[in-house]
């Protein structure tokens, strides 16, 4: 394991360090240079500190064992090919500071299943997510950025759907070649969270981070009278709802709404 304490990681610093498995980047670092970790094929995880504003060209290109990336909240640009060919990368949550996703920046990340794109993003480069063959959901938290109109951003991502939040603008039925759908809050109906626990029935709610969801309940779907029973803020995109009154009714039905 390597620990570094410098102001920037210069170009080519760890190029082809194929035995490097972990790296700790301190808050003193403000930029990660050209090909800084290119072909570090044993690197498994990276945490980008809050001090970093720019991830340069090819910075983590072909890090084939890289499974997770945690971004600090100051990154504004991810340059071209920064994470190209990181075939083990399964999910990405980009920071709210980000404005630009470069050309081919996540191309050939074949294990990437979903990505959340913050409302701060105004530019997505051509082929940014091309050939991410397992990409199923692209979740936009703001208005539609201007598409490339060359149908390249999600080229070969045949299973991907672009989701957008209610109240955002600029969305049509297609975004750069991929179908769109309204992104609504969901209840998680599988797993141990969907059950009666400590004499209370509960479930997880999943949606965009920091959104507010009101849970309403009624006892008769034939003549429904819905009453609010809980207001939940989805920190990190999830919140657990529980109803201590559920056992007081022969039947209790729930629905979600956003205030």
Q: Is residue 90 included in any domain, yes or no? A: no
Give the pLDDT confidence score for residue 6 in this predicted structure.
81
Which residues form the domain of 198?
186-257
Q: 42-59, pLDDT tens digit by residue? A: 999 999 999 999 999 999
| 115 DSSP 8-state letter | E
pLDDT tens digits for range 148-182: 677 899 999 999 999 999 999 999 999 999 999 99
pTM strictly above 0.75: yes
Query: What's 211's domain CATH number?
Result: 2.60.40
pLDDT at 4 over 60: no
Residue among 212, 196, 148 at smallest CA distance from 175: 148
Give the CB-side neighbour count of residue 84, counting CA atoms within 13 A.
Answer: 19
Please report which confidence band the pLDDT of residue 246 belongs to, taking 50, 70 and 90 as the band edges: confident
Residue 7: the pLDDT is 86
Number of domains into which the chain is organized:
1
Place of tokens 């790296």: 23
Residue 120 resides in a domain: no
CB 72 within 8 A of CB 54: no
Query: What mean pLDDT is predicted for residues 100-121?
Result: 96
């Amino acid at each position: 394991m390597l620990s570094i304490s410098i102001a920037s990681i210069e170009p080519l610093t760890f190029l082809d360090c194929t035995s490097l498995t972990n790296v700790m980047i301190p808050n003193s670092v403000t930029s990660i240079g050209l090909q800084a970790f290119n072909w570090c094929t044993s690197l498994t995880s990276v945490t980008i500190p809050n001090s970093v504003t720019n991830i340069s060209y090819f910075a983590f290109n072909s890090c084939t064992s890289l499974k997770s990336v945690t971004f600090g909240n100051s990154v504004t640009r991810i340059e071209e090919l920064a994470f190209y060919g990181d075939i083990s990368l399964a999910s990405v949550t980009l920071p709210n500071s980000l404005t630009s996703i470069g050309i081919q920046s996540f191309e050939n990340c074949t294990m990437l299943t979903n990505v959340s794109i913050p409302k701060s993003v105004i530019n997505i480069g051509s082929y940014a997510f091309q050939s991410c063959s397992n990409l199923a959901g692209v979740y936009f938290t703001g208005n539609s950025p201007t598409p490339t109109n060359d149908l390249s951003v999600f080229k070969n991502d045949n299973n991907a759907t672009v989701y957008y939040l209610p109240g955002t603008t600029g969305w049509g039925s297609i975004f750069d070649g991929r179908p769109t759908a309204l992104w609504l809050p969901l209840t998680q109906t599988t797993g141990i969270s969907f059950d009666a626990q400590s004499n209370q029935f509960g479930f997880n709610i999943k949606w965009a981070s920091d959104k507010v969801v009101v849970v309403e309940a009624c006892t008769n779907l034939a003549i429904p009278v819905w009453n609010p029973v809980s207001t939940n803020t989805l920190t990190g995109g999830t919140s657990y709802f529980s109803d201590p009154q559920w056992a007081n009714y022969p039947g209790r039905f729930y629905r979600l709404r956003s205030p």
